[in-house]
Amino acid sequence: MMVGELYHESRPGMGTVFDLYLYAVGPGQAQELFDLAFDEIERLEATLSNRKATSEIARVNREARVAWVITDPETFALLRRAREHGRATDGAFDITIGRLMRTWGFFRQEGRLPSPDEIEASRAGWPLLLLDEATRAVGFASPAVELDLGGIGKGYALDRVAELWREHGVTAALLVAGSSSIVALGAPPGKAGWTVRVPHPLDRSTIAATSVRDGAVSTSGSYEKFFRAQGKSYCHILDPRTGWPVQGMWQTTVVAANATDAEALSTALFVLGPAGAPRLLDDADAAAFVVAEGMKVTRFRWREASA
């Protein structure tokens, strides 16, 4: 059983910063594991980013508009999983919103207020993503479809690193992507789990905390990317069903079995609001801490830990 000392390394990737912590037997072993992890993150960014012209997702976006595209098993499996989240959340989570995100200016890191006609022309929907299981082929049923895996890509990368580290004997590690996605592998020596703190949506102090062991946490917030137009604030989290940014929500934090699902669920919960949480979280066996506008806090199965 690997225990050893706690080591930490931080590197940029997928448009954010990954902070990885692990218990290893000596700095040499730790460095090998960090290199393994960041190589995997780099590989996945090269595969899943829709902003890299050479990525597999960029190729699918280009070619699936006119013909079926056969993709690799890993990419196809992730698209199938994302599409299932679209179905399970009634479209509150949807990876076909790439064109819609572009219309709102969020790919350029500067928002703009589009016209209703522009929004309507950019709307797609998860049923328009066609998947052929027999051939691993991907098709688009509408020219409005553009895949954007930004909502689950970082979580999937964390899950993959955790899987690799388990295979190499790691029994305790904390993997963090941009502070919004976290995987807790095992627990620190003598602890029941890793303490994960939830940031306050206004000042980033700690508003809640929970203990996680062999699970994941994802936080979605309106403060991450937003712009103001005509006296109103518009956040980067869109409601795929309407094409407009979500209003009335500040932050959602979800605890789930893995980071891929936690990311999809935190986004869907942000769109659905507290009223949609019971069914969403019961189906996924997940917990949540929700902050609506005006600091209205709602907890679902949330287990508070000492901060």
Residue 139 sits in a domain whose CATH number is: 1.10.3980.10
pLDDT of amino acid 13? 96
Domain contains 86: yes
Q: How confident is the model at residue 230 (pLDDT cuts 50, 70, 90)?
A: confident
pTM: 0.95
CB 65 within 8 A of CB 202: no
CB 260 within 8 A of CB 217: no
Domain that holds residue 71: 56-147
CA distance 136 to 154: 23
Q: Residue 231: CA atoms inside 13 Å, Cβ hemisphere, count?
A: 0
Residues 230 and 243 in one domain: yes
pLDDT of amino acid 1? 55
What is the bridge-based pairing of β-strands 137-140 and 181-186?
Answer: unpaired
Domain contains 221: yes
Q: Which of 147, 166, 193 is the last residue of a domain?
A: 147
pLDDT of amino acid 227? 83
Would you give the DSSP letter of residue 97?
B
Domain contains 218: yes
Residues 143 and 160 in one domain: no
pLDDT of 226 above 80: no
More confident residue, 107 or 147: 147
Residue 59 phi/psi, 5° resolution?
-65, -45
Domain contains 47: no
Residues 190 and 269 in one domain: yes
Residues 156 and 296 in one domain: yes
CB 136 within 8 A of CB 256: no
Residue range 87-119, pLDDT digits in tens: 999 999 999 999 999 999 987 667 889 999 999
Residue 210 phi/psi, 5° resolution?
-145, 160
Domain count, the chain: 2
What are the counts of helices (DSSP H) followed by strands (DSSP E) for the chain?
Answer: 8, 17
Strands (E), 133-231: 137-140, 172-177, 181-186, 194-199, 206-212, 215-221, 226-229
Residues 188 and 105 in one domain: no
Domain contains 211: yes
Residues 232 and 253 in one domain: yes
Residue with token string 């079926």: 68
Domain contains 306: no
Domain contains 94: yes
Residues 232 and 131 in one domain: no
Q: Which of 98, 132, 147 is the last residue of a domain?
A: 147
Q: What is the mean pLDDT of the chain?
A: 94
CATH code for the domain in which residue 269 is found: 3.10.520.10
Residues 175 and 269 in one domain: yes
CA 23, 25, 31, 37 torsion: positive or negative? Answer: negative
Count other C-beta atoms under 10 Å from residue 19's C-beta.
16
pLDDT of 255 above 80: yes
Residues 136 and 159 in one domain: no
The tokens for 37 are 């992890």
Best CA proximity match to 213, nearest among 174, 246, 241: 174
pLDDT of 18 above 60: yes
Mean pLDDT, range 216-222, rounded to an integer? 95
What's the distance, CA 213 to chain centroid? 19
Q: How confident is the model at residue 225 (pLDDT cuts 50, 70, 90)?
A: confident
Domain contains 305: no
Mean pLDDT, range 81-89, rounded to an integer? 97
pLDDT of amino acid 179? 84
Residues 140 and 165 in one domain: no
Residues 84 and 197 in one domain: no
Q: Which of 147, 174, 194 is the last residue of a domain?
A: 147
Residue with token string 């594991």: 33
pLDDT of 187 above 70: yes
The tokens for 67 are 């013909």
Mean pLDDT, range 295-307, rounded to an integer? 89
Residues 222 and 272 in one domain: yes
Q: How confident is the model at residue 307 (pLDDT cuts 50, 70, 90)?
A: low
Mean pLDDT, range 289-294, rounded to an integer? 95
